[in-house]
Amino acid sequence: MKKSSILDKIIYFFNSVFATLLLLSYLLPYISPTSFPSFTILSLFVPLLIIINLIFAVYWLIKLRGKFFLSATILFVGYFISSPYYKFSEANNSKNSDLRIMSYNVRMFNFYGWNKDITIEDKIQKFILDKNPDILAVQEYHQSKKIENHYPFQYIKKKLPSSQFGIAIFSKYEITNSGSFEFESTNNNAIYIDFVKEKDTIRIYNLHLESLKIDPDKNNLGSENKEKLIKRVSNSFKKQGFQVGKILEHQQNYRGKEILCGDFNNTAYSWVYKNLSEGKKDAFLEAGKGFGKSFNYPFPMRIDFILADENIEINQFNTYSVKYSDHFPILARINWQKNTEL
């Protein structure tokens, strides 16, 4: 047997470190961020850990070394117990009775000029109106007359009565009930509406969980002081834990059809996602394709979701890679009437 070189030994050491981190990440859905907020930071890096372990596996495979099995085995286990990182097939159906729902963090329509393109607001508005969803859930909303005039029914919750910023749901169906969670000590919030479609009462939750303050233009996850970064992100995850607790408690008092969507500021490998998706179908996993990247960052991060009841069919799911915000809009076609013909 050919002896390993010093370089191979060094590479395998780092391979072992990243393989161990990926293995530990499989515990993340079972650990509340209110208990171990620092450890839950790892959920953000699971997509990157998967990519790195894939690279190691390919490297050892090319060199025809048994070391290939370390990363390969952990990736194989993750395929069965963790959320898929990549979807190879998609559903592409449609029915006249589908509910078309879009979730989009619009980053205040570029109000603070993060993008030098002064036409961003018009581009976002045109994109939304062209797609024309039945339900539009917007995070980081800033007053938009074009969108408000387009939808006959709307629930807009501003941070302050005098503010133009907040979170909103726009609907083509009459809203019969609405409410806000009013999260404490944060600019984030979650809201909900009830509406009637044909004979069904449906509840839509629009969630904007605690922000991590990641700036894709500055890549500040890699540049900020490590101690300061860990403390800041840990506190954000801890707040997310309490916010999810309030949402889950609220859901217990409702027995009708419901959809959860929005910017979770966390990945599908987290405790946050596991608890919010319990008893729900993930529209991307049911009908999407590819990475489902919804946050404009150097590696694929899926932190925006549409989750619906298990007894429904999701006919389509799309992520639109339009770089008008730091998030990409997502849209799903959802139907409760499984036997309805086209």
Asked if residue 243 is part of any domain, the answer here is: yes
Asked if residue 203 is part of any domain, the answer here is: yes
Q: How many domains does the chain have?
A: 2
- Whole-prediction pTM: 0.92
Examine the domain organization and report whether 192 and 50 are in the same domain.
Answer: no
Non-local CB neighbours of 334 within 8 Å, separated by 6+ positions: 98, 99, 100, 101, 259, 283, 306, 308, 312, 313, 314, 315
Distance, C-alpha 330 to centroid of its chain: 9
Asked if residue 213 is part of any domain, the answer here is: yes
Q: Tokens standing for 278? A: 């319990």
Which residue segment(s) compose the domain that 253 sits in?
A: 99-335
Asked if residue 342 is part of any domain, the answer here is: no
Examine the domain organization and report whether 238 and 326 are in the same domain.
Answer: yes
Count the Cβ atoms, other than its own, within 10 Å of residue 68. Answer: 18
Asked if residue 90 is part of any domain, the answer here is: no
Rounded CA-CA distance 222/301 in Å is 15
3 — pLDDT class (breaks 50, 70, 90)? low
Return the DSSP state at 210. P
Rounded CA-CA distance 284/306 in Å is 8
pLDDT in tens, 142-177: 999 999 999 999 999 998 877 889 999 999 999 999
Last residue of a domain, one of 81, 112, 132: 81
Examine the domain organization and report whether 119 and 34 are in the same domain.
Answer: no
Nearest to 334 by CA among 288, 296, 283, 285: 283
pLDDT in tens, 42-98: 999 999 999 999 999 999 999 877 899 999 999 999 999 999 989 988 888 888 899
Last residue of a domain, one of 30, 51, 81: 81
Contact 314, 91 (CB under 8 A): yes
Asked if residue 220 is part of any domain, the answer here is: yes
